[in-house]
Each structure stands twice: as structure tokens, then as C-alpha cells.
Amino acid sequence: MIDLSLIWVVIIAVGVFIYVVLDGFDLGIGILFPFIQDQQERDVMMNTVAPVWDGNETWMVLGGAGLFAAFPIVYSAVLSALYLPILLMVIALIFRGVAFEFRFKANRTKHLWDKAFIGGSVLSSFLQGVLLGAYIQGIHIVDGRYAGGGLDWLTPFSLFTGVGVVVLYAALGCGWLIMKTDHRLQEDMFKIMPKLILGLLFIFACVSLYTPLSQPQIAARWFSLPQLLYFSPVPILVVICSVLALRACAKKQESAPFLYILALLFLAYSGFLISIFPYIIPPSVTIWDAAAPANSQLFALIGALILIPIIITYTIMAYWVFRDKVRVGDEGYH
């Protein structure tokens, strides 16, 4: 018999990963704004994502809708546990979107919208990292309901992972701009990227050490079979990809840094999934415990199998149409 819960976990996991990739470098551009002072170059930075940025968040909606349809206990319990940071993140994303639109229309107040764009990008990225850290720490569930406090999510570990996601998104944005720009802006990104890669290595190392020490259930999964076999190549591959990314920056390769950062993101994400599986609400609720009735999952799956190929198709087409480099003086977003 087909395991619908497992299918939905794969769909949601893939959707979240695509969101992190697409909206990650989008948010990363806002995080990198303070390092570039020239207004024309800032215009170029925004024009690299202007045709596609609002479509990137489609994947966040897909993940949320998937949780609601396939795992309603997760949707209700996790939102209850993380209500405040989720609300602040949504406000930051809205504020950032408004700043994106208004900045191109403003003249005298353009610098204010730049600051709003930076603040919205940094805050939403930071809060996504806080949500990740709080989720890894575990959510206290009793009888399918959240039984913890309103600020259980606020810990040193979640704040650290918040900073980590900001650095990760900045690295994604930096790799994207290396690929999409040239001349002085590209040179600036080549100078920034090695620092971000070294920062990522430090953050990955700290999280990898702290997580098993603070979470015995995760340590037990890491160091038991078969998870140990799945997880053991990850640290080695992280080091290899980091070295290759640094070498690509030194050789001024245009596409390789972004691809290696994507590889690092995939390794970190796969390590995260290995750490928590089969729990969808760590440390106690499995994907089968939280699953909706099979009929509901099947009904939603039919709709997903129709919509997801459409979303993938228009996303690929958008990026293909706007695949060329963006330069100062190009006709941009209006």
C-alpha cells in the first residue's frame, strides 16, 4: 500500500528546500545592500531578481498548504508554539516587499526605502533561522496540542541559528550576484564571498557540535545505524565543497561559487532531515502520528500533482527568460 504520509513529507521537504534556495538569494541581496553604496549598483542588484522575486515565495505557500492538508496537527501545534516569530517574519516580508516596490518610485526618500529593504531582508532571514533553531530544539506536545510557553522558542541556540541563516542567505545572494553581474559589483562580491564561506563553516561546525550535546535524541540517531551511514559523508563533503568554493572565487569563476553554496545548503538540509526523521514535530510526534486521514491526504495530493508541475514550469521559464547578466544602465524594473 502507498504511504501517503511519506509522499507528503517528500513534497513538503522539497518545497521548503526550493523556497530556501529561491527566496534565500533574494533575501541575501537585501542583506548585502549595506556593503554596496553606489545607487546604480544597488539598482542592478535589485534588477537581478525583480522579474522573479514575488514568485519565489509561492513555495512557502505550498509548504504551509501542504502541512495544513496532510498534517493538520503540525500546522496547529507548530504555529501555536512559534506564533510570535512567524508573525514577525510575515510582517518583515511584507515590509520588504513594499520597500521593493516603493524604492523604484521614490526619489528623495529612496535612501529610506533602501533601509527598509535591508531591515526587512535581515529580520525575515534572522527569524527564519530562529524558527529552525526552535524546531530543532523540540516542541512540547501533549494530546496533539502545544503545551509549552509563549517564549520557549527564544533561546541562545535559536538566536545563533538565526544569525547562521542570515550568513547563509548572504552567501547565496553573493553567489547569485557573481553569476548575474560584472565589473566592479562582481569584483566586490568576489571579495565578500570567501568571508561568508568561512563564516558558514564556523556556523555549521558550532551547530553540529551543539545539537547532539544538547539534544540526546538527535545524538542517538546520529550515532546509530543506519543514520550513521547516511550522515557520516556529510561533514567531509561540506569541507570539500567549501574548499572548492574558495578556489572558484580565487579563480574568478562566475557560476561555480553559487553552485557550491547550493551544494553546502543541500548538505546542511539533508543533515537536518536525517537528524529529525521520522519525527515531524521533534522530539515525539512522528509523521504517521500527525497524519490526516488517508482520504484527505489523497484528495489534496491529486491537486498537488496538478499544481506543482505548473509552478515548476513557470518558475523555470521565468529564470530562463531572464537568464542574462544585468548591468548598470539596463532598463530595469519600473
The domains found in the chain, sorted by start residue, are 2-320 (1.20.1630)
- Mean pLDDT, range 56-68, rounded to an integer: 82
What is d(CA 132, CA 71) in angstroms, rounded to the nearest whole number? 18
C-alpha angle with apex 330: 22 to 320, nearest 5 degrees? 35
* pLDDT value at residue 331: 64
Question: How high is the mean pLDDT of the chain?
Answer: 87
E strands in 21-164: 141-142, 145-146
Q: Which residue has the cell 553546502?
A: 264
Burial zone of 140 (CB within 10 Å; 0-12 exposed, 13-18 middle, 19+ buried): middle
Pairing status of strand 145-146 against strand 141-142: antiparallel
Q: What is the pLDDT of residues 147-195, one digit of tens each?
A: 888 888 999 999 999 999 999 999 999 999 999 998 899 999 999 999 9
Rounded Cα gap, residues 254 and 110, in angstroms:
30
What per-residue confidence (pLDDT) applies to 334? Answer: 47
Give the pLDDT confidence score for residue 318 in this predicted structure: 86
- Tell me the percentage of the chain whose pLDDT exceeds 90: 39
Distance CA 17, CA 300 (A): 20
89-146 pLDDT, tens per residue?
Answer: 999 988 888 888 888 777 778 888 889 999 999 999 999 999 999 998 888 888 878 8
Evaluate if pTM is beyond 0.85.
Answer: yes
Q: What is the pLDDT of residues 232-287, one digit of tens each?
A: 788 889 999 999 999 999 999 989 999 999 999 999 998 888 888 888 888 888 89
Q: Is residue 12 a contact partner of residue 66, using CB atoms and an 8 Å limit?
A: yes
Q: How far apart are CA 166 and CA 24, in angstroms?
A: 9
